[in-house]
Amino acid sequence: MSKFKLLFSEYFEIKESNLADYGALNICLSSDLPLFIDPFLLFASEKAEYKELHKHVVGHLLLLKEYAIENNGKDVDLRLFRFPEIKQNWLGLAQYGNGGKGLGLRFAKGAIQAFNGFYNSFGEEKITDETHIEKLTLLNAGVGKDFISDFTTNLIFEYLLEYTEAFALKYLKDAQVKEFSIRCRFDKATKTWQPRKFKLPHFFREKNGDFILLTPLDILTVDDAIINNNDFYNNFNTVTRSIGNDSLRSAINDHFRSHLPKKPKKKDKIHAFIKTVEQYPDLVDLYIRIKEDSKNTASEVTSEKIEEIREQLIDSLTPLCNLLNDKSPFYSVNPNSYDEALKRANYLKDVIENNDGYRIFYDGTKPIAKEDTIQRIFRLTWYASPYDVNSEVNNGRGPADYKVSFGSGDSTIVEFKLAKSSSLERNLENQTDIYKAASKSSNDISVVLCYTDSDIRKVNRVLKKIGKEGHENIVIIDARRKASASKV
């Protein structure tokens, strides 16, 4: 058993197979994983309980529609449209910790306006088999992916609590389980959320530790929801071709072309797309119908993406922490922000280059190409340290990967980049300076990961061009695959 208690299975000292057999995700308890619940997977599932959950989610949104259209949207109780992010499932877009904003005033106003406008026929569909809440994200700039995630999680919260409680009572020790009273059931009569008591896993190693929520793997997805605005736009031709009425199809295509200039750019095509859908709103339901018809393949695609996240992120986390602990003083640096961050970056460099740490950054023989995945691995590794390191700090000029600080007068910005990035030169020359000014940080460090010989040459060329060769605060990590010792 690893000394690092980052994953649920490690923290509670149970077998990973217990979670796998139960069908739950082995979450990381130090930072959100980039996954979220997709209501379409509830709809597409063969499980009766999931189908009921989908109807429940849609039913509550239809209830909100009733509230929204009373008096043409005037004097609506906005509190009914507010849904907090349920952070205890450790899923979502937050790359530091598990905090999030949830659905607040912006969503409330956007939903009320939508129900009294373009989406006034929501729930009265005749083309699709069922109503889908994702429909509100198509053409509605104020309602997006966060809405799908937070709204769905809130509405199936009670089910997730029951699901987690059943696992806890079966696999965990008494000391690892605690009773919590949680508001999870909506009372239509009083228009309030009512509490229920559950026995749940909690951070038992900490004083007054919060509860932890498990989520079934087969309702999770990565990136965009299956029904989403970008996919609708990209498959617009497929949607129009599905129209059996030749005259109508021709009229729609003519309307689309009438909004295009002679040499249209992508933004012009998007504008024409929006105008066409506004004129012919049934196109939304035709698109969703195509998704419904291919629902059997939806779960296969998402499960492949989740497996990729698991292999690249979750499975690599603990081995990298162990290597850093065994092969370097990575977790015992004295508390000075710049020295700490620089030493840790160099320890990381040494472990990757000289102690087979590079293997963590390969999926078989293929390097992990996504910068976001690389950064998450680094972030989660740092969370195993005893020091406070804030990740994805955004002070108005965009998010920096890290801000390491000890009090208001001692802080350092740390940025991780792939050498192959097209913006590498600009990043190394300007980005950390911008973050430093916004965060009032006096120091900065850039860490660049190289996979190939050409990556190494590119970095050296860029550093020479911008006059930063040999700067100690630019750490180049050679993650090229190494020959075995017997071949050297």
pLDDT in tens, the chain (488 residues): 456 677 899 899 999 899 999 999 998 887 778 788 999 999 999 999 999 999 999 999 999 999 999 877 788 888 898 888 898 998 875 444 444 556 777 788 888 888 888 888 999 999 999 999 999 888 765 556 667 888 899 999 999 999 999 999 999 999 999 999 999 999 999 999 999 999 999 999 888 899 999 999 989 887 678 898 888 999 999 999 999 899 999 999 999 999 999 899 999 999 999 999 999 999 999 999 999 998 888 777 677 777 776 766 667 767 777 787 788 777 665 556 787 778 878 888 888 888 888 887 777 777 776 666 666 666 666 555 544 455 444 433 333 455 665 554 567 777 888 898 888 888 887 654 544 444 444 578 888 989 899 999 999 999 999 888 888 889 999 988 876 544 44
Residues 6+ apart with CB under 8 A from 234: none
Cα dist from 97 to 58, 100, 384, whole Å: 30, 9, 12
Distance of CA 463 to the CA centre of its chain: 33
Distance of CA 378 to the CA centre of its chain: 16
Which runs of E-coded beta strand occur in 331-442?
Answer: 362-363, 366-367, 389-394, 399-405, 411-418
Tracing tokens 């083309």 back to the chain, one arrives at 127
**Residue 445 contacts residue 345 (beta carbons within 8 Å):** yes
β-strand partners of 463: none
H-helix or E-strand spanning residue 222: strand 220-222
**Residue 377 contacts residue 418 (beta carbons within 8 Å):** no
**Residue 40 contacts residue 298 (beta carbons within 8 Å):** yes
Which runs of E-coded beta strand occur in 242-395?
Answer: 362-363, 366-367, 389-394
Helix and strand counts by DSSP (H, E) for the chain: 19, 11
Three-state secondary-structure class, residue 159: helix
Cα dist from 175 to 108, 168, 205, 323, 485, whole Å: 41, 11, 10, 31, 47
Rounded Cα distance between 34 and 452, Å, is: 27
Rounded Cα distance between 178 and 208, Å, is: 10
Residues 6+ apart with CB under 8 A from 369: 418, 420
Rounded Cα distance between 195 and 171, Å, is: 25
Rounded Cα distance between 229 and 242, Å, is: 18
Q: Which of 111, 100, 106 is nearest to 135 (CA)?
A: 111
| Structure tokens that stand for 23 in this block | 């069908």
**Residue 433 contacts residue 444 (beta carbons within 8 Å):** yes
How many residues are there in the chain? Answer: 488
What was the pLDDT predicted at 410? 65
Categorise residue 470: left if φ over 0, alpha if ψ from -120 to 50, beta otherwise. Answer: left
Q: Which of 175, 94, 148, 182 is nearest to 376 (CA)?
A: 94
| Structure tokens that stand for 232 in this block | 């609708």
| Structure tokens that stand for 153 in this block | 């999680």
Rounded Cα distance between 168 and 172, Å, is: 5
Rounded Cα distance between 84 and 101, Å, is: 7
Q: Which of 342, 389, 365, 371 is nearest to 449 (CA)?
A: 371
Q: Which of 43, 56, 50 is nearest to 129 (CA)?
A: 43
Neighbours of 117 (CB within 10 A): 11
Categorise residue 96: left if φ over 0, alpha if ψ from -120 to 50, beta otherwise. Answer: beta
Q: Which of 332, 365, 331, 390 is nearest to 452 (CA)?
A: 365
* Residue 390: φ, ψ to 5°: -90, 130
β-strand partners of 411: 405
Rounded Cα distance between 458 and 76, Å, is: 58
**Residue 477 contacts residue 450 (beta carbons within 8 Å):** yes
